Amino acid sequence: MTKHTRQIRILSVVGLVCIIGYVFNVRSINSFGNTLGNAFGARRFLAGLDPYLDSSLLPPWAQNNLVDVTEFPDPTRETALFWHVPKSGGTTAKRVYECLGQTLANRLGADPRFGHDQDEEIVVFHPFATEPEIKFVNVDTTTKAGVVRAARLGLVPSGMADIIFAMDVYLAADQLFDPDHKGRILALFRNPVDRAVSKFYYLQTATWERTFKPEWQGMGIVEWATQHNIDENFLVKKIVGKKLQDPVDVGDLVNAKEIIRRRFIVGLMVDMEESISRFNVILGLNFEDTKGKACKKQFFGDKKEKKGDKKEKKGDKEEKKEEVTADANAENGEGEGNPGANPHPTLEEGSPEYNVIAERNALDMILYNYITLLFSEQKVVIDAYASMQEQNVQL
């Protein structure tokens, strides 16, 4: 066992011990009145167990420009920043919020075909006459140049965007926000191996993408993973602000864990509906009005349909190994009829191919496991926020 491997395993155990302590602390809550206080206590408890976790680890952009997870959400005083991790369900989230009538900052905002890419002030426009609920601001927050332009035009101070979608969370949080105009980070995460496999197959055929890779066609996935994949440990690198070609170590992982723990409302691709519902609480939205119910049914179906689907999906395990599925997390879209939908073979956990990719993304695998535990425990705080919002409505 190498020194690097030992460090990773030790840190993984430390992280698990921290979360177990967090679970014990949070689940001691017996009344709503103690929920948020306990959340603060749990955070201190978690930090105290792990000597690596300290407030000084937060970089200035996270410390000063972003709202803490345990601060009650107020959409009138903060702007949502959605970190769109490629191949992790971000486009489904974007489409849900288009359906719900939110004004978005994303890639299409500065598309020249809409005529707003040269504007010198922030404006809101409706790009599609047949879909009036879709609204964009006139900036592209998915590129470095676009983020710089959005900052120069005063995107966040303008208050015109409900949700900002960005591919580079470090850059966006640092450039677009400040202590007087704070952001709230939302993000969907996916198993790093599944995300890598999806990217491998998707970019072979995605002619509309700037990163289209026709040379990957016919290539074995192990060859690709060991010789051609340049974004190993993508999550850790992006969170701590490193370039894809830069090395990362256990210290970077620790920093990424602390930033996520204190500043991210996390969602999981494998539990998309629950994740979006939590984001809605933060955004002051819901699926209960007429429009919300229609959007929920459009993207998630209804419970009766889901029960029927589960029965139909039961089958022989050997068939599932060779199953070709419509990827739910195409980088530029999810689902049937979308140009970003990405049918591809899947890898079975524990297979040689799976293990190769997992080992080459060891820090991201640890981080993802940590995120899944945070997802479970953040439910306490999100539920508390929802209850407080309901009480405010009644008043």
Give the 3-state secondary structure of residue 340.
coil
DSSP type of residue 348: P
CA torsion sign for 55, 237, 14, 349 is positive
| pTM of the shown model | 0.80
Give backbone dihedrals phi and psi of 133, rounded to 5 degrees, phi first. Answer: -75, -15
Contacts of 182 (CB under 8 A, 6+ apart): 65, 66, 67, 77, 78, 79
What is the band of 313 on the pLDDT scale with cuts at 50, 70, 90?
very low
pLDDT reported for residue 302 = 76
Q: Give yes or no for a contact between 178 and 322, defined as CB atoms under 8 angstroms apart.
A: no
User: In one letter, which amino acid is 369?
Assistant: N
Give the pLDDT confidence of 221-266 residue by residue, as tens digits. Answer: 999 999 999 899 999 999 999 999 999 999 999 999 999 999 999 9
Residue 53 gets the label, from left (phi > 0), alpha (psi -120 to 50) or beta, of beta
Q: How far apart are CA 262 and CA 239, in angstroms?
A: 13
pLDDT reported for residue 255 = 96
Question: How crowded is the C-beta side of 238, counted as CA atoms within 13 Å?
Answer: 19
Q: Which tops the pLDDT comparison, 49 or 178?
A: 178
Q: Give yes or no for a contact between 72 and 272, defined as CB atoms under 8 angstroms apart.
A: no
pLDDT reported for residue 391 = 81
Residue 315 predicted with pLDDT over 80: no
Question: What is the token pair recorded at 132?
Answer: 């009036």
